[in-house]
Amino acid sequence: MTRTAVLVKPDGLQRGLIGEIVSRFERKGLKLVGLKMVAMTDRQLSDWYQEHKDKSFFGDLKSFMGSMPIVAMVWQGLDAVTVVRKLVGTTLGREAEAGSIRGDFGMSQQYNLIHASANEDDAKREVAIVFGKDEIFDYSGAMECVIYADYERGEK
């Protein structure tokens, strides 16, 4: 099982979409192992968006993301990064696939509701920026036996 980071951005918070977003991941069969509302610091935002530091929109991005609290989550499951990215949809909301979070609720590129880790390395880095080790929980979910086959869970 792998883990991935998800942020509900300020626009998602303002629009009251947290429950909808959590519900979609849960219905897919992913397990929520970390959750908190946080006001990200300038340092956290610089670390989070380090790949954009030389781009013209970096300042606006940090300003937007720091304008109010965000909801940070860690999701776990088989191929969690890939599964979450499919559920989230492409960056530009108005072109995102119908049925995806951005496809159903987004129109903008910047105000696109949600961030999802791009790959497993980014996921590990991003989780560490927002969560302490004591804020990630490992537990057995009651539904895992009907979501994954024994061999997918590493059993038998």
**Among residues 30, 115, 116, 126, which one is catalytic?**
115
115 carries an active-site annotation: yes
- Evaluate whether residue 32 is within a structural domain: yes
pLDDT digits (tens, 9 = 90+) for 19-60: 999 999 999 999 999 999 999 999 999 999 988 999 998 999
- Evaluate whether residue 153 is within a structural domain: no
Name the nearest CA neighbour of 111 among 147, 146, 60.
Answer: 60
Contact 26, 32 (CB under 8 A): yes
Q: Is the pLDDT of residue 153 over 80?
A: no
Give the other-Cβ count within 10 Å of 152's Cβ. 12
| pLDDT for position 105 | 96
- Which range marks the domain in which residue 101 is found? 2-147
pTM of the model: 0.89
What is the domain-level CATH number for residue 41? Answer: 3.30.70.141
- Evaluate whether residue 64 is within a structural domain: yes
- Evaluate whether residue 87 is within a structural domain: yes
pLDDT digits (tens, 9 = 90+) for 68-125: 999 999 999 999 999 999 999 999 989 999 999 999 999 888 789 999 999 999 999 9
